[in-house]
Structure 1
């Protein structure tokens, strides 16, 4: 049987699929980004949330944020092979390849992720043939939940959102300025902490300052993550997955139109498409 995983920085979707394509187990764990979690932390999460709920695993195929670099993919593959002894070694890929295979299957196109992080790629129907450096939320990730909410917090703490919205935020999240700064600068996984404010951002999207944050970020996303591909692939379809793309679809489509783009598909999660993509090889597991 095939154990299939799709992991962002916030959460991981798992499916155990039998040879007929039937899903026997569906569960979630926290995100397993190897840039943010050490091997021991990943093992602990897998033992607590996944290991005792699956059996007879023939192969693990894992798509994950932070797994695009070969060294990080190898680290995670070693953990998976240790905990899930299978007929063949675990296969670990970056989350952007998972997004492309899910959304485009065997067709060419430009696949994008807008969730806790941001990424994009040019896909030929099987593999990635072009990409731009993602760089993470400090240097890039325009339009991601982390960067949108980083900008939100900056405007909030600088006093640019108005007293009413500022008070609403602190009341809703039971935080102080000191606590926020400690979480960002002194605690692990600041990206997940920042992205947790996405519901507040969405609820108040009509506020002029927040509206500006959203549209500025999405424009930067298109300029950095989309336009470079258009020099040589002018008509390839454009598709998105991720919680930000899904919940902010109206705003994202508006910005796309500004760039002369039409978004063919927006899916909240890539797992269903990944199951479809791998069904053709399930007999091998």
Structure 2
């Protein structure tokens, strides 16, 4: 049996599949980004939420935010091997490879993630052969739920022109300025906190202020994450995965048209595609 995990900064989807690709067990846990959680904390989550619900695991394949760096991937693989001891060592990959395999299977293309974070890559049908540096929400992540939420908060707290919008926001989330700043600067996982405001952005997408935030972010995503990959690959298919891409698909597609791009597929989660991909690679272990 193959245990597949797709982990963002917010949540992790787990599927235990057989060689036909049929799902035997489906589980969820919180996101297991090794930049935000220590190995002992990751192990605790695995033992508490996953280990007791599955059996007969032959291999674990983990795709996750923060796992693109070899050191972090090795740290997580060691924890997985301790919790799920098998003859086959656990395989840990960055979430962008998971997105590419899910979206394009064994065909070349450009794969993009728009969820809590954002990323893109050039995929040759087997490996990632080109990327744009992913710098996190302080320096990058344009178009992500975290940066959309960050830009919304900044607008609401700094501008005096959005009193009605500000009032509805505070009423909706039962937060004041002090609590917001405390959660961003003093509490763990500020990215998840900021990304939690995407439903408010989507609900008020026609508001001029929020419309500007959404479209400015998506244009920046194309500028920084797609155009550099597109220069020498003008005909490759473009596909997206992630909750922001899925729920803001209408707005994302409008921006794509501005760049003369066609988005061939938008998936909310890469898991179904990963099940299909790995059901054809069972013989490799």
TM-score range, shorter chain: over 0.9
Q: Following TM superposition, by how much is the alpha carbon of 1:21 offset from its aligned partner in structure 2, in angstroms?
A: 2.2
Runs of 4+ aligned residues of structure 1 deviating over 2 Å after TM superposition are: 281-285
Partners of 1:176 and 1:143 in 2: CA distance: 25
Cα distance between partner residues in 1 of 2:271 and 2:38:
25
Q: Does 1:248 align with 2:248?
A: yes
Query: Aligned-pair distance for 1:230?
Result: 1.6
Distance verdict in 2 for CA 1:213–1:126, change over 3 Å: same
What is the CA distance between 1:284 and its match in structure 2? 5.4
The equivalent residue for 1:77 is 77
- 2: CA distance, partners of 1:12 / 1:200: 23
| TM-score scaled by length of structure 1 | 0.98
Contact 1:238 1:262 in 2 (8 A): yes
Residue 40 (structure 1) shift: 1.4
Q: In structure 2, what is the equivalent of residue 259 of structure 1?
A: 259
Asked whether 1:152 is paired with 2:155, we answer no
Matching residue of 2:116:
116
Please list every run of 5 or more consecutive structure 1 residues that lacks an aligned counterpart in the other structure.
none
Aligned to 2:185: 185
- Which secondary structure state, in structure 2, belongs to the residue aligned with residue 50 of structure 1? helix
Alignment of 1:130 onto 2:158: no
**Mapping of 1:1-285 within 5 angstroms?**
1-160=1-160, 162-283=162-283
Count, aligned residues: 285
* SS class of match (2:159): coil
Distance in 1 separating the partners of 2:164 and 2:230:
43
Give deviations 1:136-157, integer Å, cap 9, x for gaps.
0000000000000000000011
Q: CA deviation at 1:283?
A: 4.5
2-side partners of 1:181 and 1:142: how far apart? 21
Aligned mates of 1:192, 1:131 — CA distance in 2: 24
Gaps of at least 5 residues in structure 2 are: none
Please give the root-mean-square deviation of Cα atoms over the aligned residues, in Å.
1.0
Q: Is the 8 A contact 1:160 1:209 kept in 2?
A: no
TM-score, length-scaled by structure 2: 0.98
The structural deviation recorded for 1:208 is 0.5
153-162 or 221-230, which deviates more: 153-162
Per-residue displacement from partner, 1:154-197 (whole Å, max 9, x unpaired)?
Answer: 00111356222111111111111000000000011000000011
What secondary structure is seen at the aligned counterpart in 1 of 2:47? helix
Whole-Å Cα distance in 2 between the matches of residues 264 and 150 of structure 1? 29
